[in-house]
Amino acid sequence: MNFNISEILSKLQVDIKGVNPGVSTGSTHWQGSGNVLDSFSPVDGKIIAKIGTASKDDYQKVIEKAVEAFANWRMMPAPKRGEIVRQVGDELRKYKSELGALVSYEMGKSYQEGLGEVQEMIDICDFAVGLSRQLYGLTIHSERPQHRMYEQYHPLGVVGIITAFNFPVAVWSWNTALAWICGDVCIWKPSEKTPICSIACQVIAARVLARNNVPEGVSCIVNGNYEVGEWLTNDKNIPLISATGSTRMGKIVGAAVSQRFGKSLLELGGNNAIIVSEHANMDLALRGVLFGAVGTAGQRCTTTRRVIIHEKVYDSFKATLVKAYGQLKIGNPLDTTNHVGPLIDQLAVDTYLKAIEKGKKEGAKFIIEGGLLDGKEFESGCYVKPCIAEAENKMEIVQSETFAPILYLLKYKTLEEAIAIQNGVPQGLSSSIFTNNLQESEYFLSHQGSDCGIANVNIGTSGAEIGGAFGGEKETGGGRESGSDAWKIYMRRQTNTTNFGSSLPLAQGIEFNL
pLDDT tens, position by position, 332-386: 999 999 999 999 999 999 999 999 999 999 999 999 999 999 999 999 999 999 9
**Average pLDDT for residues 458-473, to the nearest whole number?**
94
How does pLDDT run across 14-55, given as a tens digit for each residue? 887 778 889 999 999 999 999 999 999 999 999 999 999 999
Q: Does 251 score more than 80 pLDDT?
A: yes
Q: Which residues does the annotation mark as catalytic? A: 267, 301
Q: pTM higher than 0.85, yes or no? A: yes
What is the per-residue DSSP string for 243-277? Answer: EES-HHHHHHHHHHHHHTT-EEEEE----EEEEE-
Do the Cβ atoms of 52 and 20 come closer than 8 Å? yes
Residue 54 to residue 162: CA distance in whole angstroms? 15
Burial of 248 (0-12, 13-18, 19+ CB in 10 A): exposed
Q: Strand, coil or helix: what is 287?
A: helix
Give the list of residues 6+ apart from residue 133 with CB closer than 8 angstroms, or none.
78, 79, 82
Mean pLDDT of 401-426: 98
Task: Assess contact for 464 and 482: CB atoms under 8 A.
Answer: yes
Rounded to whole angstroms, the Cα distance separating 178 from 77 reads 14
Mean pLDDT within 129-140: 97
Considering only CA atoms, give the Rg of the chain. Answer: 24
Counting residues of the chain whose pLDDT is more than 70, the rounded percentage is 100
> Phi and psi of 460, rounded to 5°?
-75, -175
Question: Does the structure show a pLDDT above 90 at 491?
Answer: yes
